Amino acid sequence: MVTTNIAIIEAILDRLYPNPEVSLKYESLYTLLLAVLLSARCTDKRVNEVTPRLFALAKTPAAMAAIPVEEIRAIIRPCGLSNSKAKAISGLSKILCERYSGEVPQTLEELETLPGVGHKTASVVASQLGIDAFPVDTHIHRLAKRWKLSSGRSVVQTERDLKRLFPKDRWHIRHLQMIHYGREYCTARGCKGSCEICKAL
């Protein structure tokens, strides 16, 4: 039954989003890292409104490390949690300069050691690097439970279940497709008959 459901889900997602892209606007792995960090408890739309000013100020670790935390905080304030996020941006920028020659680390484990970079943030960046990762955000967590792909008890469990159910070589596509679908058709308020997948399962 689950195998049949997976086939249905994949077919619909592939038809609706054949070439899904990250909603956040970025110019490099470093700016993607900052954008994903800022997206915690904030919409991608708001982040995309804020990051042009931030990246105009500095778009490399070396340049950002030289900016006072207060100045970073003032720019990113609309994203919420500006105190902790500003400190994290400044701190990780300095670490990238000191330990990684100004480059974003290429492993999930190293990414997760950076200030303000949790597992989900690291997974999003890792996925864009071609590393096998299945980032689980609130949309994916909700859909996995609604579609009975996971118990939904925790994000960790949801990630484990989805990795088991979907082919590894499609993880980077599936997580983006599910995010887009969750925003457009199967929202937190309910799908109200507009969700093909809920109808089909």
Asked if 120 is an active-site residue, the reply is yes
Mean pLDDT across 69-93: 97
- 136 plus 171 within the same structural domain: yes
Q: Which domain holds residue 158?
A: 2-20+132-200
Report the mean per-residue pLDDT for the chain: 93
Domain total for the chain?
Answer: 2
Q: pLDDT value at position 84?
A: 97
- 63 plus 122 within the same structural domain: yes
Token pair 């689980």 is at which residue?
136
Q: Which of 45, 85, 120, 145 is catalytic?
A: 120
- 85 plus 165 within the same structural domain: no
Kindly state the tokens that stand for 197. Answer: 């997948």
- 41 plus 89 within the same structural domain: yes
Q: Give percent of the chain above pLDDT 70.
A: 98
- 37 plus 103 within the same structural domain: yes
Is pLDDT of 59 > 80?
yes
Measuring CA to CA, which residue among 187, 82, 175, 81 is closest to residue 137? 175
Q: Which residue has the higher pLDDT, 30 or 194?
A: 30
Confidence of residue 192 (pLDDT cuts 50, 70, 90): low
Kindly state the tokens that stand for 156. Answer: 């960790």
Residue that terminates a domain, selected from 104, 128, 152: 128
- 52 plus 92 within the same structural domain: yes
- 52 plus 140 within the same structural domain: no
Kindly state the tokens that stand for 187. Answer: 């929202």
Q: Which alpha helices (DSSP H) does 116-194 contain, by range?
A: 119-128, 138-146, 155-165, 171-184
**What's the CATH code of the domain at 81?**
1.10.340.30
Is pLDDT of 191 > 90?
no
Residue that terminates a domain, selected from 77, 106, 128: 128
- Quick count: other Cβ atoms within 10 Å of Cβ 65? 19
Asked if 14 is an active-site residue, the reply is no
- 50 plus 114 within the same structural domain: yes
Mean pLDDT across 57-67: 97
- 118 plus 140 within the same structural domain: no
The 10s digit of each residue's pLDDT in 118-144 is 999 999 999 988 899 999 998 999 999
The 10s digit of each residue's pLDDT in 152-161 is 789 999 999 9
Q: Give percent of the chain above pLDDT 90.
A: 83
Q: How many whole angstroms separate alpha carbon 190 and alpha carbon 156?
A: 23
Q: Which alpha helices (DSSP H) does the chain contain, by range?
A: 2-16, 29-38, 44-57, 61-65, 69-76, 82-99, 108-111, 119-128, 138-146, 155-165, 171-184, 196-200
Measuring CA to CA, which residue among 119, 94, 109 is closest to residue 30? 94
Q: pLDDT value at position 201?
A: 85
Is pLDDT of 1 > 80?
no
- 55 plus 102 within the same structural domain: yes
Residue that terminates a domain, selected from 98, 128, 158: 128
Q: Which of 137, 145, 161, 192 is catalytic?
A: 137
- 15 plus 34 within the same structural domain: no
- 110 plus 152 within the same structural domain: no
